[in-house]
A and B are shown apart, each in its own frame.
Chain A
Amino acid sequence: MSYVIKGETGQWEVVIGLEVHAQVISKSKLFSGAPTEFGAGPNTQVSFIDAGMPGMLPVINAHAVEQAVRTGLGLKAKINQRSVFARKNYFYADLPQGYQISQYDMPIVGEGTLILDMPDGTTRAIGIERLHLEQDAGKSVHDMHPSKTFIDLNRAGVPLMEIVSKPDLRSPEEAGLYLKKLRSILRYLGTCDGNMEEGSMRCDANVSVRPVGSTELRTRCEIKNVNSVRFVMQAIEHEAMRHVDVYESGGSINQETRLYDSNKGETRPMRSKEFAHDYRYFPDPDLQPLEFDDAFVAAIKSKLPELPDDKQARFIKDYGLSAYDAGVLVAEQENALYFEEVAKGRDAKLANNWVSSNLFGVLNARGVAIGDSPVSAKNLGRLLDLIADNTLSSRMAKEVFEIMAETGNAPDAIVEERGMKQITDTGAIDAAIDQIIAQNADKVEQYRSGKEQLMGWFVGQVMKATQGKANPGVCGELLRKKLKS
């Protein structure tokens, strides 16, 4: 089911590599002690270092280094115990030093792998080329004055991880899955919150096309700074189509940087080649090479959480869930934790149904995260217990669940308060059945003469008589016994 663009001259395959800028979760900036909090007033989180004042020097934030290593380990990547910070030189008003401190030919993390779970149940391994640490630039605000630009340096120096994939992605869908999976891993690791709206995760997509069957890599274009998964997928689709159109009309693609306009659904060039930068990378002489030992890496490794892939495998094995169901549960760590609390010591498949269908249904409808769920895992577990011990029928349980979702109350209290206890006491059901049999001799006769579909009617009558509290199983069993005799 590969993604193919049918052109006039033949079929085309799209080749995609993604560069993700992930803001490192860190209290302070990469090379200064200034805070990184989002949403503060302009230029309130700026140190002299961030502002590029004369004589100021960068000092590496050790926590950010740990976060990068943690992420590298999460991506099953090679950790480079010696890496080098380099200066990327260019002039821009929101780049106070006149260079960005980044890593060039010696990044902190080398090659790794990210597994995609395809909807058809197969998996795809996508190569990670590298991960490096770098500082963010500030923000230029052009719309506050007709002729002036305002600069906010709060972001300047904020630590970023640039995570570069190999050109292994073959469809917009795969690109979307890659971003979601990467975000999931980063969130599990606690190294990036993955919030694309606030800009803490940004994506550049490198896109090229080639005839199906070809292994060449044609000229790529880089679509910069796309800020949602959906837009990344759309941008890739549009860009790939554009390449096909250009090639098929005899043209050629220029390597360039483009921007995606989500309103018009098109990409357009960002800066032309004449202004292509020569970044004059060289090792930053203000910083020593970044070096750490095995023990440093081992200490981080020992504290890694169980990551989505491992958790998914365990859910399949321990709870007998399908790969798809397990995949849905593990995408967010909190969901998986919630599920496990509900499933512990209970019927795991039932737990999955209640969590994935009923609970997620309510949460999605209300746009609420699981952390703010009105139904606690403890209460949902208790509800399952009430089903298991026949206190509630599944129909009644759904009713109780709705009340739980409304009120946040515990199921026992709801059952108690509303007298919703299922009747499993055969004596009480017996009495109700005897009365119904006595009052409906004609129906009994018809049933006994072979009209067995009347069973449903009898059950309905019993339910009516018990205000729906009779256990439907017990009820059917007793009815069959009594109607036969």
Chain B
Amino acid sequence: MPDFTDLTAMTIAAARARLAKKDFTALELTDAHLAAMDKARDLNAFIVTTPDVARERAKAADVRIQSGKAGALEGIPLGIKDLFCTEGVQTTAASHILEGFKPQYESTVSQKLRDAGSVMLGKLNLDEFAMGSSNMTSYFGPVKSPWKAKGRADDLVPGGSSGGSATAVSACLAMGATGTDTGGSIRQPASFCGIVGVKPTYGRCSRWGIVAFASSLDQAGPMTRTVRDAAIMLKVMCGHDPKDSTSAPLAVPDFEAALSKGVKGLRIGIPNEYRPDGLNAEVAALWDKGIQWLKDAGATTVEISLPHTKSALPTYYIVAPAEASSNLARYDGVRFGQRVEGKTLDEMYAKTRAAGFGTEVKRRILIGTYVLSAGYYDAYYLKAQKVRALIARDFTEAFEKCDAILTPTAPSAAFGLHDKQDDPVAMYLNDVFTVPASLAGIPGASVPADLNSEGLPLGLQVLTKRWDEETMFSVCQVLEDAAKFPFLKGAP
């Protein structure tokens, strides 16, 4: 009888090897995770668990392993963010308006993970429609981080919007999870929960079947406990999809091969603008530590300027809500999801949407509707598009001087479950370091780097130019090796 705790604390890479050696079965691995999930219900990481689906797929995986036909993720138990449509399994985007909705189709990314033999454990909680940085906006209740500050009992947020994913992976409820990142929704929760989160280049992963928040920004990516695991998962998740017109017709690189390349001779850009007055001292110190790690590994550092950084957050909070206001128009009670009847069509719309959407979603729909309105379009949306182009140009110019950029992922460690709720703008500031890369469409990853004085994880962010995830992975691997991050359940 294998030790279930041992099984759940493993990396994907290790599990892959040991499954191949038949040290244990995929079903045993899945059962270990289902048991862990059961014990950790209090964290509220999952909206729906799918033990039957999981065990069925695990059994099928065992058959394939036995017959030597194992896929890249054969038998690996994963959590799927509840923004990915999953065939026959409720998909809600953590919104009441989609409660009970069971798609008849599977998103391209989750299909690829399925086809590679992975096992879906359930649908992970998130901020409603991926709008939030704390996972507080979920209709199905907040997710708790498995981490606690030293000497304190109060619950912390896992970050957001992929909060369920971050908690599940961090607490070893899943070996990896899918996330989506629109302005930082993979990287910031990865930083808060001490795991690896990768947002690939916009266009690398298909958006088909992912409930849309802001179409020009949304991008799926892996959340795992190690850089290698992220490379393994991303390779499966990405690739051209003719069903998504914004998906790039590019071959998928061997990300895993890039892990051993090191950073010798690489130029690491350090952006001045990411060190504002009042930057958390521990975050600043960690950043310096990261710079030193890369230097020690043979990289050089170069100061760069990303002059439009300060405009990124306001730009994001025009572009994303604008697209969201239109993307969320389809939740009207007519064809699927929740409906509240009314005497007229307009009344039905109003009642359905009033009851179906939470406060933050309504706020963003209103902002988005406003910035697209006649008379305001030029001043807001059009101007934001222009600034967005400038932000992208900042990066293009910076990457003439450097091969990768190193920054903190988030301006702070995780905060309390009940902090910051009254001030949406303070909440939006969580994404200050992650949003610029989203607007530019470049890849970014957060690597767990250290614990702060309260014993809470802090992450470092690595950015590279479009389609250069390989360099990003090389840098991430060096950081991970140097950081020797203390995971919750020991070294994975």
Contacts and interface: CB of A to CB of B under 8 A. Distances in A.
Contact of A98 (B208, B210, B216, B326): B326
Interface residues of B, number: 44
Contacts of A58: 245
Contacts of B369: 280
A190 interface: no
Given A55-B84, A89-B325, A89-B329, 14 more contacts: A52-B330, A55-B107, A55-B210, A55-B211, A55-B212, A91-B346, A92-B345, A93-B334, A98-B332, A151-B334, A280-B372, A280-B373, A282-B372, A285-B246
A88 to B, nearest CB: 10
Given A97-B329, A98-B326, A52 B335 contact: yes
Given A93-B334, A96-B335, A280-B326, A55 B245 contact: no
Is the contact region of chain B dominated by helix, strand, or loop, or is it mixed? loop
A149 B345 CA distance: 9
Contact of A55 (B208, B322, B332, B372): B208
Interface of B: 84-85, 91, 93, 98, 101, 103-105, 107, 207-212, 214-216, 242-246, 322-323, 325-326, 328-330, 332, 334-336, 345-346, 349, 369, 372-374, 377, 381
A286 B104 CA distance: 21
Nearest to A48: B105
Contacts of B211: 54-55
Q: Which 5 A-B pairs rank lowest in CB-CB distance, beginning with the nearest?
A: A98-B329, A280-B372, A285-B216, A285-B215, A52-B330
B250 to A, nearest CB: 15
A54 B103 contact: yes
Contacts of A89: 325-326, 329, 372
Contacts of B84: 55
B246 A286 contact: yes
Contacts of A56: 208-209
13 contacts: A51-B335, A55-B103, A55-B209, A57-B208, A57-B243, A59-B242, A89-B325, A89-B329, A91-B349, A93-B332, A278-B373, A278-B374, A282-B322
A92 B101 CA distance: 21
B243 A99 contact: no
Interface in A12-54: 48, 51-54
Contacts of B330: 52-54, 96-98
B204 to A, nearest CB: 15
A38 B14 CA distance: 57
A287 interface: yes
Contacts of A288: 245-246
A387 interface: no
A55 B377 contact: no
B333 to A, nearest CB: 10
B414 to A, nearest CB: 29
Interface of A: 48, 51-60, 87, 89, 91-93, 96-99, 149, 151, 278, 280-282, 285-288
Nearest to B323: A285
B244 A53 contact: no
Contacts of A59: 242-245
A375 to B, nearest CB: 50
Contacts of B216: 285
Contact of A99 (B242, B322, B326, B346): B326
Contacts of A287: 245-246
Contact of A57 (B98, B244, B322, B326): B244
A286 B335 CA distance: 21
A96 B150 CA distance: 51
A60 B372 CA distance: 24
A83 to B, nearest CB: 14
Contact of B215 (A48, A51, A286): A286
A97 B93 CA distance: 17
B329 A60 contact: no
B85 A96 contact: no
Contacts of A57: 207-208, 243-245
Nearest to B98: A54
A247 B328 CA distance: 45
Contacts of B105: 48, 53
A98 B369 CA distance: 13
A238 to B, nearest CB: 30
A287 B216 CA distance: 9
A210 to B, nearest CB: 27
Nearest to A283: B385
B326 A87 contact: yes
A322 B277 CA distance: 85
Nearest to A288: B245
Contacts of B372: 89, 280-282
A55 B85 contact: yes
Contacts of B332: 91, 93, 98
Nearest to A58: B245
A278 B374 CA distance: 6
A151 B335 CA distance: 10
Contacts of B244: 57, 59
A96 B326 contact: no
Contacts of B345: 92-93, 149
B329 A54 contact: no
A288 B215 CA distance: 12
Contacts of A91: 329, 332, 346, 349
Contacts of A87: 326
Nearest to B208: A57
Contacts of A54: 85, 91, 93, 98, 101, 103, 211-212, 330, 336
Contacts of A282: 322, 326, 372, 377, 381
A92 B212 CA distance: 20
A56 B327 CA distance: 11
A280 B368 CA distance: 10
A452 to B, nearest CB: 87
Contacts of A97: 329-330
Nearest to B334: A93
Contacts of B209: 55-56
B104 A48 contact: yes
A282 B85 CA distance: 26
A101 to B, nearest CB: 11
A51 B216 CA distance: 22
A286 B103 CA distance: 20
